[in-house]
């Protein structure tokens, strides 16, 4: 009996000293979902850019410019006498509209009252935020934004759906210096 007791205790000691092992997942993901999403997004961007290039190619009356930020634009009204463009913190007043690439109104400029925006300090979709920085006071510019520079995958949850490229005509009405710059100049 003592022998069984000693063997039992020895066995318990040997197996109880073992450190716990991590359990392995039943199935292992290889990141295929991420790879599929990246590939899908590349395809969407390529299709949208091809549509925009087709619009540019068929419109021989305007000179389109390509921005370093991934969108295209042309000037409806250009000011060659002013040099100042908005900088970080400047407050701009502007008017704009949003259309589909086919030219169908989504939001007219009447629906979007002239609005003010502190450059890079408030929410605004990335293409418009970057486009405003290219403009001078009094200019009107038409931008062609692929969806990733507009409202992207989520849309605006109202009239703009998922992955919708946009055309926007923007008029920069006024540029005011950043409030801090005005206070420094007054001191």
Q: Which one-letter DSSP state was computed for residue 137?
A: T
d(CA 65, CA 75) in angstroms, rounded, equals 9
Q: How far is CA 174 from the centre of its chain?
A: 25
With vertex at residue 156, the alpha carbon angle to CA 68 and CA 127, rounded to the nearest 5 degrees, is 10
* Structure confidence at residue 3 (pLDDT): 73
Task: State the pLDDT confidence band at 187, using cuts at 50, 70 and 90.
Answer: very low
In which residue are the tokens 């703009």 written? 160
Using DSSP's 3-state secondary structure scheme, residue 2 falls into: helix
Greater pLDDT, 21 or 113:
113
Q: Helices (DSSP H) in the chain: which residue ranges?
A: 2-16, 32-58, 126-132, 179-186
Q: Span 1-6, mean pLDDT?
A: 70
* Structure confidence at residue 1 (pLDDT): 66
Task: State the pLDDT confidence band at 96, using cuts at 50, 70 and 90.
Answer: very high
Q: Which pTM was predicted?
A: 0.79
Tens digits of per-residue pLDDT, 7-45?
767 766 666 655 666 677 666 566 778 889 899 999 999
* Structure confidence at residue 27 (pLDDT): 65
* Structure confidence at residue 34 (pLDDT): 87
Tens digits of per-residue pLDDT, 141-167?
999 999 999 999 999 999 999 999 999
* Structure confidence at residue 4 (pLDDT): 73
Tens digits of per-residue pLDDT, 37-68?
899 999 999 999 999 999 999 999 999 999 99
CATH number corresponding to 34-186: 3.10.50.40
Tens digits of per-residue pLDDT, 166-184?
999 999 999 998 776 544 5
> Each residue of 20-50: b (16+ CB within 10 Å) or e?
eeeeeeeeeeeeeeeeeeeeeeeebbeebbe
* Structure confidence at residue 178 (pLDDT): 76
Is the distance from CB of 58 to CB of 133 less than 8 angstroms? no
């Amino acid at each position: 009996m003592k022998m069984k007791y000693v063997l039992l205790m020895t066995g318990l000691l040997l197996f109880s000293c073992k450190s716990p092992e991590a359990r392995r997942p039943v199935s292992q993901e290889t990141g295929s979902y991420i790879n599929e999403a990246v590939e899908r997004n590349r395809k969407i961007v390529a299709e949208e850019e091809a549509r925009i290039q087709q619009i540019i190619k068929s419109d021989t009356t305007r000179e389109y410019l390509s921005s370093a930020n991934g969108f295209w634009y042309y000037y409806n009204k250009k000011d060659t006498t002013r040099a100042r463009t908005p900088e970080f913190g400047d407050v701009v007043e502007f008017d704009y509209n949003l259309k589909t690439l086919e030219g169908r109104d989504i939001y007219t400029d009447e629906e979007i009252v002239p609005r003010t925006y502190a450059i890079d300090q408030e929410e605004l979709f990335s293409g418009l935020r970057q486009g405003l920085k290219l403009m001078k006071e009094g200019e009107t510019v038409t931008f062609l934004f692929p969806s990733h520079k507009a409202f992207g995958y989520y849309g605006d949850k109202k009239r703009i759906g998922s992955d919708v490229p946009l055309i926007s005509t923007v008029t920069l009405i006024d540029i005011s210096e950043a409030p801090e710059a005005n206070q420094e100049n007054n001191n």
